[in-house]
Every structure is written in C-alpha cells, then in structure tokens.
Amino acid sequence: MQFSKFGEKFNQYSGITQLMDDLNDGLRTPGAIMLGGGNPAAIPTMLDYFHQASDEMLANGELIAALANYDGPQGKDAFVKALAQLFRETYGWDISEKNISLTNGSQSGFFYLFNLLAGKQADGSHKKVLLPLAPEYIGYGDAGIDEDIFISYQPDIELLDNGLFKYHVDFEQLTVDDSIAAICASRPTNPTGNVLTDGEIHKLDKLARQHNIPLIIDNAYGLPFPNIIFADVQPFWNDNTILCMSLSKLGLPGVRCGIVIANEAITTAMTNMNGIISLAPSSVGPAYANHMIEKGDLLKLSTEVIKPFYQQKAQRAVELLQQAITDERFRIHKPEGAIFLWLWFDELPITSMALYARLKARGVLIVPGEYFFIGQEEGWDHAHQCLRMNYVQDDEMMQKGITIIAEEVAKAYAG
Ligand SMILES: Cc1ncc(COP(=O)(O)O)c(C=O)c1O
C-alpha cells in the first residue's frame, strides 16, 4: 500500500506510541511493575467521587444528554462559560467564553497548535516551536505534519543539596528570530517535575511579546486543577499566552478532554480545526467537569485530595530511591510537580535506552530519557543518563521496582 507523505510520517512507531503500548501491555501483564506511563493514580477518594458524580448525573439526565448529543465545535458551552467565570473569579484574568476551546485531550490540542503555527508557512519559509529547555514532554516530539519543527536548548543544571538538582532556562543561549513561530514549555514539566520559576515565565513572556509570537504553557499538571504542583509559583495567562489544560490528571484520562485558553483569534482557529477534524470535542468530560464546578468541587478536590496525594508519593519515592541507590553519581531532579521523578545517573557507562531494555526484561517498565530531548542535536552525554519514573504505584510495587532499578544501575556502573 502506498501511503502519502502525511501517512508515512504518522505511520511511524514513535516514542509516544511505544510508551502507550508499554502502558497497555504492562496493564495486562501480571506482575509487571509499571513505572513508565503517564496514567494518573487511582486515588480512592477521586474514584469514589466520580462514582457518586456518575450516579447523580445519570439521575438528573446530564450523563445521557452528554452521551446522546454533539456539542458545538468549540466544546460544551456551559462548561466553557463556567470555566471562564472560574478563572475570572480565581485569578482576575480578563477572559470570557471567547477565550476557551476544547479538544479531545490536550495531546490533540498540541497537534492543532503546533501545526497552526509552525512548519511550512504561506510565504514558503519554515518556522519552528522553541522549547526553552530540553528535556521536554515526549508527546510533542512527532506532532509536526512537517519535519523538524522544534528547536530546544540545554538547560543550566543547578546541583542542590540532598542528592537533588534542578534545571533552569539558559537565557544566554536562547535565540528568537524570524524562524521561531512560538515558545512552548510544560509547567510542571513532564518528564522532570521541574517548574519554571515566575521569573523564567515572565522573561519568556517578554521574549514572546517582543517577537510577536505566542507563549504556549502546557499546564496539564498545574494550577488551579489538577494542582499537582509543589513549588510556590503563580499561574500565568495574558492574551499572548496559550494556556493548555487537561482533565486527564484529575483522574479522567479516558474522557479525553483538553482545554485551550487563548486570545480570540486562536480560539476561533481551534474551533474551526475541531469542526474539520472531529466535528466536535467529546461532551462527556466537560459534563463531568461542569458538574464539579457547579458543586464547588473542582478546585477543592484538586487542592485537598490530588495535590497532597502526589506530594506524599513523590517524597516517599525520593526516600526509597535514595535508600536503595547510594552512588554519588545518582541525583534526582527536585520534585516540584507532575507525576514523575527524573533520575540522573551521571557517567553511566550504558545508555538509558539500554538500561530501559534491561529493566523491561526484569518486568520493570520505565521510560528512557533519550526520548525527551526533542529538538536537540545528538551528542550530549546527559541525554543518555536519565530515566523518567512514574511514582504513582502502591508502596510495595514502588519498593520492588526501585530494588530492581538499584540492582541494574549497580551492575551497569560496575560493568
Ligand atoms: C505535559 C503533558 N502535556 C500534555 C499531555 C496530554 O494529556 P491529555 O491528552 O491526556 O490531555 C500529557 C499527558 O501525559 C502531559 O504529560
């Protein structure tokens, strides 16, 4: 069969597809220790809440209405309005329903946005999305219809006490010129748990405005929901910012709901793309989230249940790792948010891809760091020395997985 250029590109077995496959296989393999994928934790309080919300929505007709009707291409009106009001009241942002569009998961929102802005332009030039700091979210990597739509920069590495470290944007290196279509960063960052400081965000905003390009902030884990953010920072939005959110890490990845908060021109573009690509985004997630807003539960549960759950899990995982791996070349990125720890094995004699394969053979699924250095030239040792570990499993699984990681890392250093 002959595929088109588009077909060839999107028929690749990309890093993100491998990750989703591993996740799917692992979920069905007895005994597998899943420290790989990005599935949120099954938090009992949240599961009970969704159970109860489903009962209520079934009884009052909201669930069947969501299942049985298309929403408009911008996404469920009632939810978009309720969200705009929530942001106005919570943060004083000057937004209305004209600033919000929904997509089938924020992953597809990024596909729309990157291709709306980057790649081949009408005048024949080629533009890229600038990622101020790699490692960055694996899911961006293959999202361009055109090739080569990302450029990224190595971070400054700050070594911290207690075996931790933190990445910072190296502003001296960043070059924004006519070839840049947008700046994009996840905050908190998947895979590292880094949170760009308020200072870094303001500098990026200034840079974006100076060059008349948008700043895309991927807020899949951030404020005000799901609030898996432990650093003391402020949320950020203005009419040059495209803030992307998701219901997934609230515990609802199956409803596939992404939220894009942007100026009216971007909102209209997203709405038009929705119409062509999917008619309308799914109605079910917005119905649940709207129910949560009406009840006053969305922010409350994020702050009182989700955030403390992940924060405690992250601290425990750091503790377990530091007990199990005492080699001084091992460091953990300061856990500031998201649902992963980023492990750095300096001077590791094998690549993290090889370490991933050894761990997979022993039933531990983890993600090799190489995938996250999107938009980078090959040749930075650090890119082969890191692993992303999801820390949401129960304590017994975490201990088992970490013991095996410690053994394989010791073998690799010794060998
Ligand atoms: C940083 C980041 N952005 C976006 C996404 C996509 O999420 P979804 O498509 O489920 O909304 C993820 C998923 O893990 C993520 O980690």
User: What b/e sequence results for 1-38 when a residue is b if at least 16 CB atoms lie within 10 Å of its CB, and e otherwise?
Assistant: eeeeeeeeeeeeebbbeebeebbeebeeeeebbbbbbb
Centre of ligand 1 from the C-alpha of residue 141, in Å: 13
Residue ranges making up the domain that contains 286: 70-296
Instruction: Give yes or no: residues 286 and 385 share one domain.
Output: no
Instruction: Give yes or no: residues 327 and 197 share one domain.
Output: no
* CATH number of the domain encompassing residue 30: 3.90.1150.10
pLDDT, one tens digit per residue, over 96-114 is 999 999 999 999 999 999 9
* CA torsion through residues 88, 90, 91, 92, sign: positive
Residue 92, domain member (yes or no): yes
Residue to mutate, 20, 22, 104, 106, ligand 1, most ligand atoms under 8 Å from C-beta = 106
Residues contacting 401, CB < 8 A, separation 6+: 33, 35, 364, 366, 389, 393
**pLDDT score of 23:** 63
Centre of ligand 1 from the C-alpha of residue 282, in Å: 16
Among 296, 322, 339, identify where a domain stops. 296
Residue 63, domain member (yes or no): no
Residue 64, domain member (yes or no): no
Place of tokens 């999801």: 390
239, β-bridge pairs: none
Instruction: Give yes or no: residues 77 and 174 share one domain.
Output: yes
Centre of ligand 1 from the C-alpha of residue 237, in Å: 19
Residue 409, domain member (yes or no): yes
Domain count, the chain: 2
**pLDDT score of 19:** 64
Nearest CA to ligand 1 atom 5: 107
Instruction: Give yes or no: residues 94 and 240 share one domain.
Output: yes
Mean pLDDT, each 10-residue run in order, the chain (415 residues): 91 72 68 87 97 98 98 98 97 97 98 98 97 95 94 97 97 96 98 98 98 98 97 97 98 98 98 97 98 98 98 97 98 98 98 93 91 87 96 94 97 94
Among 247, 265, 296, identify where a domain stops. 296
Nearest CA to ligand 1 atom 6: 107
Place of tokens 């010791």: 410
Instruction: Give yes or no: residues 223 and 265 share one domain.
Output: yes
Residue 53, domain member (yes or no): no
Instruction: Give yes or no: residues 307 and 279 share one domain.
Output: no
**pLDDT score of 415:** 85
Residue to mutate, 136, 137, 242, 261, ligand 1, most ligand atoms under 8 Å from C-beta = 137
Residue 54, domain member (yes or no): no
**pLDDT score of 378:** 76
Residue 262, domain member (yes or no): yes
Closest atom, ligand 1, to C-alpha of 246: 11
Instruction: Give yes or no: residues 308 and 253 share one domain.
Output: no
**pLDDT score of 27:** 58
* CATH number of the domain encompassing residue 74: 3.40.640.10
**pLDDT score of 16:** 64
pLDDT, one tens digit per residue, over 235-292 is 999 999 999 999 999 999 999 999 999 999 999 999 999 999 999 999 999 999 999 9
Instruction: Give yes or no: residues 179 and 224 share one domain.
Output: yes
Closest atom, ligand 1, to C-alpha of 109: 9
Closest atom, ligand 1, to C-alpha of 108: 9
Ligand 1: lining residues by beta carbon, under 6 Å: 38, 105-107, 137, 139, 186, 190, 218, 220, 246, 248, 253, 258
Total-model pTM: 0.96
Nearest CA to ligand 1 atom 2: 220
Residue 61, domain member (yes or no): no
Instruction: Give yes or no: residues 307 and 292 share one domain.
Output: no
Among 276, 296, 316, identify where a domain stops. 296
Centre of ligand 1 from the C-alpha of residue 247, in Å: 9
Instruction: Give yes or no: residues 407 and 342 share one domain.
Output: yes
Instruction: Give yes or no: residues 238 and 371 share one domain.
Output: no
Instruction: Give yes or no: residues 199 and 346 share one domain.
Output: no
184, β-bridge pairs: 216
